[in-house]
Amino acid sequence: MIEPIKKDFADALEMLKTFINDELNLKAIEKAALLMVNALRNGNKIISCGNGGSLCDAIHFAEELTGRFQLSRRPLPAIAISDPAHITCVANDFGFGYVFSRYVESVGKPGDILLAISTSGNSENIKNAILAARKNAMQVVALTGKTGGETASMCDVEIRAPYSEFSDRAQEIHTKIIHSLVHSIELELFPELYKNN
């Protein structure tokens, strides 16, 4: 059993090396972070969404902003679309393809950011959420995997994990991207926190 465990970590390390060795990935994170910083400076919010493990990532991103990342500072406005009552209501009444878009339509405002997470880039409810964000004059950052899918051409900034057959490797990269985005946001909005760190 040790060898498969070791291989899991080795594969994750190789994926991370592939990601960081492509300068375009780092520039995409920087661009996404600056869009988010600008939105937050202007009193806007970030709404995040995803399915399954990607929903956990969407929640993780939001709680890092509303709670605490590395150092204490004021909370930042972020919402993950994760209310089970909303999701089951919309899925039952309109279909699962609309569980995120209905929420974005209801609370998304011009200047807000949508963080859409899909390891395939082809989830119907993610694509519908992006369309709803566009109607509300929001900008869109997408975390994707594989080939980026249809989502790749629908967003302002796409940050794509290197190709892998299964979603776990992409999700591991997405977690690091989320931490990098939050850290970048804090460095821009709260530089005084990191003067001695």
* pLDDT tens-place string over residues 149-181: 999 999 999 999 999 998 999 999 999 999 999
Give the per-residue pLDDT at 67: 97
pTM of the predicted structure, to 2 decimals? 0.96
User: How confident is the model at residue 196, as a pLDDT?
Assistant: 73
In total, how many domains does the chain have? Answer: 1
CATH of the domain at 139: 3.40.50.10490
Reduce the DSSP state of residue 108 to 3 states and report it: coil
Instruction: Name residue 117's beta-bridge partners.
Output: 50, 143
First to last CA, the chain: 40
Q: Are 73 and 141 in contact (CB under 8 A)?
A: no
Tell me what pLDDT residue 112 has. 98
Return the closest-CA partner of residue 80 out of 124, 116, 133, 36: 116
Q: What is the mean pLDDT of each run of 10 residues along the chain (197 residues)?
A: 94 96 98 98 98 98 97 96 98 98 98 98 97 98 97 97 94 98 97 82
pLDDT at 176: 98
Task: Return the C-alpha torsion angle 131, 137, 143, 149, nearest 10.
Answer: 30
- Single-letter amino acid code for the residue at 21: N
Interval 116-135: pLDDT, tens: 999 999 999 999 999 999 99
Residue range of the domain that includes 133: 2-194
What pLDDT sits at residue 197?
A: 65
Q: Return the structure tokens found at 138.
A: 């929001």
